[in-house]
Structure 1
Amino acid sequence: MKREILKSGTPWEDIVGYSRAIKIGNVIEVAGTTAMDGDQVFGKGNAYEQAYFIFSKIEKCLTHFGSSMKDVVRTKMYVTDISQWEEIGKAHGQFFIGINPVATMVEVNRLISPDLLVEIEVTAIVPN
């Protein structure tokens, strides 16, 4: 099967050895995505703003492969404060009401920067 890779252009992709997203066949995997905008954290201190920004970034990845949010079958959300689940869930709902992918949200001790509150990855399956 053909393997299509999407790079975001960040220097750490080559250092760590990963891609922003990969499409193999009709499956798209989007790597853990944070609210980084270049070297700046978007929505510092606001879990809803970060989650919304992240889903917008993920949507652009899917569009690159000719897909959309309607093709997402799984979301995984890693959050540093589970008490903010409603705000993060609100952003999730704005993108996925009516699509209803399976979803996981777990609290983690920390992310790569203390200003990051949420990291999200998705799996999408594009219909043939």
Structure 2
Amino acid sequence: MSADRVENFGVPWEESYGYVQAIKRGDSIYLSGQLANDGPKIIGLAPLDQDGQIMDAANTGEQMRKAYENADVLLHRFGASLDDVVEETVYALDIDAAFEAAGPIRKAAYGRDDPQVASTLVGVTRLAIPGQLVEIKMVARV
């Protein structure tokens, strides 16, 4: 089955890693893990110690909010929105910070107190970009 359409943001890591931000096949839209990027700049990068380890996860909510915004931008390019998301996986360096931020941010992003989306929150030891705290992968159906 071939792709109906793909979308990118034109950021350097799309080419260096070799992937698309979103791909629509049939009635499904698959979003790669969304970061808190504004163009090539990552918003709210966490401070790192001399060994490159995260010192403070206080910007988890800020990064999460921007990742949802980026996901919504991509979905709109397909004529969809976060209302069409059926599944999400949130990857976070600090699971406690992510869990604390996730409720209010997810509810605001989805525009309701009971987002109608299957969701999994996963704690990880590292993400792709130093200082990155969260990444959100989604599947939408249209």
TM-score (norm 2): 0.81
Paired residue type of 1:51: M
Give the CA RMSD over aligned residues.
1.5
Alpha-carbon shift at residue 83 of structure 1 (Å): 1.0
Q: Distance in 2 between matches of 1:68 and 1:56?
A: 10
Partner-residue secondary structure (3-state), 1:124: strand
Contact 1:47 1:88 survives alignment (8 Å): no
* Structure 1: gaps (5+ residues): none
Asked whether the 8 Å contact 2:11–2:40 carries over to 1, the reply is: no
- TM-superposed CA distance for 1:38, in Å, is 2.9
2:136 equivalent in structure 1: 120
* C-alpha distance 43-12 of structure 1, shift in aligned 2 (>3 A): closer
The question of whether the paired residues in 1 share the 8 Å contact of 2:32 and 2:137 is answered with yes
Q: Which residue of 2 aligns with 1:68?
A: 81
| Aligned residue pair count | 126
Partner of 2:104: 90
**Residue number in structure 2 paired with 1:79:** 92
Q: Secondary structure at the match of 2:122?
A: strand
Amino acid in structure 2 at the alignment position of 1:21: A
Question: What SS is found at the alignment partner of 1:23?
Answer: strand
- Seq. identity, %: 35
Pair member with larger Rg: 2
Q: Provide the TM-score with structure 1 as the length reference.
A: 0.89
Measured after TM superposition, the shift of residue 15 of structure 1 is 2.8
Runs of 4+ in 1 over 6 A off after TM superposition: none
Q: Give ranges in structure 2 of 5+ residues lacking alignment.
A: 47-58
